[in-house]
Amino acid sequence: MLVRILGCSGGIGGNLRTTSMLVDQDILIDAGTGVGDLSLTELQLIDHVFITHSHLDHVAMLPFLVDTVGGMRTSPIVVHATAETLAILKDHIFNWKIWPDFSKIPDERNPMMRFSEVKLGEPVGLGARRFTALPANHTVPAVGYWLDSGDASLIFTGDTTSCPALWEVANTIENLRYVIIETAFHNGERELAIASKHLWPDELVNELSRLTRKARVYITHLKPGEGAITMAEIEECGEAFNPRMLANGHVFKL
């Protein structure tokens, strides 16, 4: 299993892209603006999209993806998310006011898009690959994802603040190799991080201290213009975890 980072920023500008990962050639984890850099051929190959939560920086390109390639495919793109997130997508995006409801185009029996509910702790198997929703703690219903090839695993926290339940699961994963965890704000913006349910460096360290498995740690969702100061604080207070900044184009092999 190969996981390629298409976007990992908390905003846009220049080469910055918001959250999305391409797994092999056929699966997306979130659908932020990084999806727009894929070629038409690459877009046509995407069969499944796993959504962590409904915020725009994680779903912005989903409507365009379905609209662009839906008519070129012989099967619908399957959108996986929790029941709460699916309801938000249906009510506020695919509602014929913001965007057409492609789960009913051209008709309900032959749609371009199909919704599929995920539940915490219940893996979705796609061949030998397993995708399992993990607990997260955000301002809207949210999950992270555990990606397991059988040989190795990667945890992506999605957007979250402190979430002990996530680490309870992580500590059971014997083949855990990578953890991708958000830190949206620097320590000087602690109150904003608390209000928006994101992590900041000091709280990131508290979270990572719950992890008893050895894993390489990568930081995502840094805010534009604040990445340098945030990473400097993370490296200072979290040196023991050897954290690295995630970047577009980074590839993980599982």
For residue range 28-43, what is the model confidence (pLDDT) as tens digits?
999 999 999 999 999 9
pLDDT for 57-116, tens place per residue? Answer: 999 999 999 999 999 999 999 999 999 999 999 999 999 999 999 999 999 999 999 999
- Cα distances (Å, whole numbers) of residue 132 to 1, 70, 126, 168, 211: 15, 26, 11, 14, 18
How far is CA 202 from each of CA 67, 169, 183, 215, 230, rounded to the nearest angstrom? 42, 22, 10, 19, 10
Contact criterion met (CB below 8 Å) for 49 and 102: no
What domain range is 178 assigned to? Answer: 2-253
Q: How confident is the model at residue 231 (pLDDT cuts 50, 70, 90)?
A: very high
Taking the complete model, does pTM exceed 0.95, yes or no? yes
Confidence class for position 181, pLDDT limits 50, 70, 90: very high
Q: How many domains does the chain have?
A: 1
107-154 pLDDT tens trace: 999 999 999 999 999 999 999 999 999 999 999 999 999 999 999 999
**What CATH number does the domain containing 219 carry?**
3.60.15.10
Contact between 157 and 223 (Cβ < 8 Å): no
- What is the arithmetic mean of pLDDT over 150-168? 98
Give the residue from 165, 127, 155, 215 showing the smallest Cα distance to 3. 155
Res 91: pLDDT: 98
Cis? peptide before 106, omega within 30° of 0? yes
Max CA pair span of the chain? 55
